[in-house]
Structure 1
Amino acid sequence: MAESGEWPSNGLDVAALMAGGWRPLPFSELVLKIHGRCNLACDYCYVYESADRSWRDRPRSMPPQVVAATAARLAEHARDHDLTKVTVVLHGGEPLLAGKANLAAAVGRFRAALPPICKVEVCLQTNGVLLTDEMLAIFDEHEVGISVSLDGDRAGHDRHRIHANGRGSHSEVIRGLARLTNSYRRLYHGLLCTVDLDNDPVRTYEALIETRPPRIDFLLPHGTWTTPPPRRPTEGGGTPYAEWLIAVFDRWYHAPRRETGVRLFEEIINLLLGGQSRSENIGLSPVAMLVVDTDGTLQQVDTLKTSYQGAPDTGLNVFDHRFDDAMLHPGVVARQIGLAALAPMCKTCAVRDICGGGLYAHRYREGHGYLNPSVYCPDLMRLISHIGRTVQHDLALAAQPAQSR
């Protein structure tokens, strides 16, 4: 357990922020841990392989009474803040382990609870192994969008995304994706791929686009200054993750036609052109997301499990507390105050407004908390600079008179 003296628990003055006119944003995205176990044993999993082991003491599956209480709290929150749209993400573990009936009941409960003026978008993050036709028919009936984790071709995917007996899951995931992209393509939201430096970046990208995903999210392996990501030196020593992502960016950006969206690259370009970030991974836009675990406890964001035991906890639950109570938790506030949550060296950085300090979970250092640059700082600088130069070159070229090109 980390010391209570770490930032933001100690050092972030929420009362002073409020006195100065700052107000928190209400939660518009709810991550529902509908099932707390998984049918795979991925060796990089931040839920089961990280410092926080609280999953061992929580229910395997979210009980109906927790679902009902959560739906009621979200409806209360939507009414109190006049929300016109909320997103509910069915998550885990592996959410499909909850079963068709429980998943359908949960979706129905949320849709029935929310006020008529508030649209409820429901989506699901799955490893894809249990995507049967029967399961997909339920999601089609209830309009549930589906994102699938896939780490590239068979060799790349099966290096980490394995069953407990060591057997790879690639063939099962591809079968599930084939069902999804055949009769249920309208539900297909995209793929999530965790970057592995041992996988060829271009081969990985080209394997991912075989199913014509509408979007790909490339995720950096979770790590902190205390427990660094694989081969990410904490004392300089190159930018291996940037080089990997740059190879993918160049292949994606210079393709003769648009093959898919890549969220990380599109968000960086959007920010470079003066837009607002729509992702917690990059930029300074406030994050308005709350997590509910299987026992009904409210958590800041589950990726904080990589930091220390109990890092995501708020001390609140859906039975005894309103969502508004979580809005002023220091950890929630820290992810909504943008520039004020950055380390001193980040505030003077040339790419400050683009990088935004990187993913909040990647800033942790034992004894200091989260008031640090991202452990991926050199990689983010290198990647953003490369994308910036590429886009700037093309904008300058486009601005030239046709005869001078």
Structure 2
Amino acid sequence: MHYNTGKHPQLTLCDIDEETMLVIDPDTVFWALVPKGEDIDSKIKQEIIPLYSRVKRECEEEMHEFRFKSPLAVIYMNSVSRCNLDCSYCYIPQEIRKTHQRMEKEQLFRTLMKACEYAEENMGNRKLTIVFHGSEPLLMKEEIFDAIEEFEDRLYFGIQTNGTLFREDDVEFLKKHGVSVGTTLDSPYLEIHNSLRKTWDGRGTFEKIVEAIEWFDGYQRLNVVTTVTKQNVSQLAEMVSFLHDKNVPSVLLNPVRGTQRPARSLMPDKGELIKYFISALKRAMELTEKTGKQIIVGNFANILVGIIAPTARKLMCDISPCGAGRCFFAISAKGDVFPCGEFIGIEEFCGGNIFRNSISDIMDSESFRMVRDRIVEKIEHCNTCAFRNICGAPCPAEVYSMQGNFYNPSPYCEFYEELIRFAFKMIAEAKTKYFLKEDVLNGLGYKYRMEE
């Protein structure tokens, strides 16, 4: 059912659960929750539409600015192509991970200087974030740590690592310099994790990664990624409990991307993914309520933020267009630049080379523009969906690799829809405090809520 609000935007009525209806403008993500026992039609016409009429223009302007004018914020530095692991589902092609391409220290520093100069010329007082990413950045540990010390006054830093090469003094270095750290653990059970994340000669990595997590000991900038496959999907709640016990503040439960063919056979059943992911969220809530110590499921937290304050989202994969090629890009060890790390190895999406081209020219390349042009309004399945600007139809690289074009929905469409419904249910039940850090929640506010 749709309600005309006067001009173009329409409010859509959606069923959330047995007790709650949602009224939403899909274009701006203005929304209101209405109990089913009330006279919904009267409430919409007498209360919700008048409120929306007052704030509609501001909502439209904010969302347009966020979707189409958000600036570059992050550069992913894939400064070494080789990896010491051969994980079953890696998004970087195996032939790249087997090579020994790496940036020289001079090339790395020159690239970081180029990032500093771009930020100073285009971003005012804001600093770019550099994330040292795949294949395995700690294979260039000395050069990367030197770069952090050299540029920490001009750039923010993060590192995404498989964790197997950490020494305890490395952990202390990263904590001392306030570096955001991501590592990966795929199961609380050694056998399952080791079947997915192993060395080239088949040795497991569970014990080494758990040791590194324990060294971080509650470090608030640590985030553990669990790549969800059909082999571990049933263990997500146990994974949350395991990491909570290890004082991990945040986990990303990321359904495996089908960008590379070997990963597609590991994609979980959608019904099981929905069931077990929600059970993990409930476990996180129970643990927080029982112990007073939070563990945040980061990708669900981002959905909540995308509902409560749509323009405050930090993970840019679920906005439309996604952040690739505008809010972030990835640089390969050869200096080739791609809209996102998921595009590495798909040569038609190379936007230039950081050693030869300016960042501005790369951002304006045809391949980057092609990714930015993919918006939910152009996807037939998505353009009538009430949740289209909460979900964003990720991931363009995955959709392109699996289906040969951009303009299809995500293979996880039903999963995202159910997570969004669950998020609205948690809002209706006043349980958002269990899923967002207190400082984040207090800093958002329901700017356009019905209570005003």
TM-score normalised to structure 1 length: 0.78
Render the CA deviation track for 1:366-392: whole Å, top value 9, x for unaligned: 674212111111222222223323332
The letter of the residue matching 1:98 is M
The corresponding residue for 1:324 is 360
Q: Deviations over 1:120-142 (max 9, x none)?
A: 21111111111112323433454
> Structure 1's 243 and 29: CA in aligned 2 closer, same or farther, altered over 3 A?
same
2:111 pairs, out of 58, 70, 74, with: 70
For 2:137, the equivalent position in structure 1 comes to 95
Q: Are 2:60 and 1:28 aligned?
A: no
Give, in whole Å, the separation in 2 of the partners of 1:231 and 1:135. 33
- Cα separation, partners in 2 of 1:141 and 1:93, compared to 1, 3 Å: same
CA distance in 2, matches of 1:367, 1:162: 29
Q: How much has 1:362 moved relative to structure 2?
A: 2.7
Number of the residue aligned with 1:126: 161
Q: In structure 2, what is the equivalent of residue 205 of structure 1? A: 240
Find the counterpart in structure 2 of residue 266 from structure 1: 301
What does 1:98-247 align with in structure 2 at a 5 Å threshold?
98-99=140-141, 101-111=142-152, 114=154, 120-153=155-188, 154-181=190-217, 185-186=218-219, 188-199=221-232, 200-223=235-258, 229-230=264-265, 239-247=271-279
Distance 1:334 1:347 in 2: 19
* Alignment match, 1:86: 128
Query: Alpha carbons of 1:285 and 1:392: their partners in 2 closer, same or farther (altered >3 Å)?
Result: farther
Q: Secondary structure at the match of 1:370?
A: coil
User: 1:26 and 1:387, CA in 2 relative to 1: closer, same or farther beyond 3 A?
Assistant: closer
Q: In the alignment, which residue of structure 1 is the partner of 2:282?
A: 250
Following superposition, the deviation at residue 106 of structure 1 comes to 2.2
**Deviates most, 335-344 or 211-220:** 335-344
Amino acid at match of 2:116: A
> Which residue of structure 1 aligns with residue 347 of structure 2?
310
Distance 1:30 1:105 in 2: 18
- Does the aligned pair in 2 maintain the 1:86–1:121 contact within 8 Å? yes
Counterpart-to-counterpart distance in 2, 1:231 and 1:92: 21
Q: Distance in 2 between matches of 1:354 and 1:304?
A: 23
Shift of 1:161: 0.8
Structure with bigger helix share is 2
1:297 to 333, 336, 341: 336
Superimposed CA distance per residue, residues 303-339 of structure 1 (whole angstroms, 9 cap, x where no aligned partner): 124xx7425422x112221111122234434555674
| Contact in 2 for aligned 1:37/1:94 (Cα 8 Å) | yes
In the alignment, the residues of structure 2 paired with residue 251 and residue 140 of structure 1 have an alpha-carbon distance, to the nearest angstrom, of 28
CA shift for structure 1 position 170: 0.5
Q: Which residue of 2 aligns with 1:48?
A: 93
SS in 2 for 1:61: coil
CA contact (8 A) 1:128 1:172 kept: yes
1:166 maps to a residue whose letter is: G
Q: What displacement does 1:229 show?
A: 3.1
Contact 1:31 1:291 in 2 (8 A): yes
> CA contact under 8 A between 1:224 and 1:365: conserved in structure 2?
yes
Q: In 1, Cα distance between the equivalents of 2:261 and 2:405?
A: 10
Aligned equivalent of 1:7 = none
Per the alignment, do residues 141 and 380 of structure 1 end up closer, same or farther by CA in structure 2, a change over 3 Å counting?
closer
Give the alignment partner of residue 374 of structure 1, picking from 403, 410, 415: 410
What are the superposed Cα offsets for residues 44-75 of structure 1, whole Å, 9 maximum, x if unpaired?
111134xxx45556x53221232122122212
Using the alignment, how far apart are the partners of 1:104 and 1:225 within structure 2?
31
Please give the secondary structure, in 2, of the residue aligned with 1:190: strand
Cα deviation, 1:282-321, whole Å, max 9, x if unaligned, reads: 233752112111122212111124xx7425422x112221
**Cα shift at 1:188:** 4.1
Alignment root-mean-square deviation, CA? 3.1
**Contact map agreement 1:224 1:375 (CA 8 A) in 2:** no
Deviations 1:235-292 (A, max 9, x none): xx85332222112122223441452111111111122224333213323375211211
Q: Which residue of 2 aligns with 1:360?
A: 396
Q: For residues 150 and 82 of structure 1, what CA distance do their matches in structure 2 show? A: 36
1:204 & 1:377 partners in 2: Cα distance?
24
CA pair 279-335 structure 1, distance change in 2 beyond 3 A: farther
% identity of equivalent residues = 21
Q: Say if 1:320 and 1:61 are closer, same or farther in 2 by CA, change over 3 A.
A: closer
Gapped runs of 5+ residues in structure 2? 1-64, 433-452
Amino acid at match of 2:108: V
Aligned length: 357
SS at match of 1:96: helix
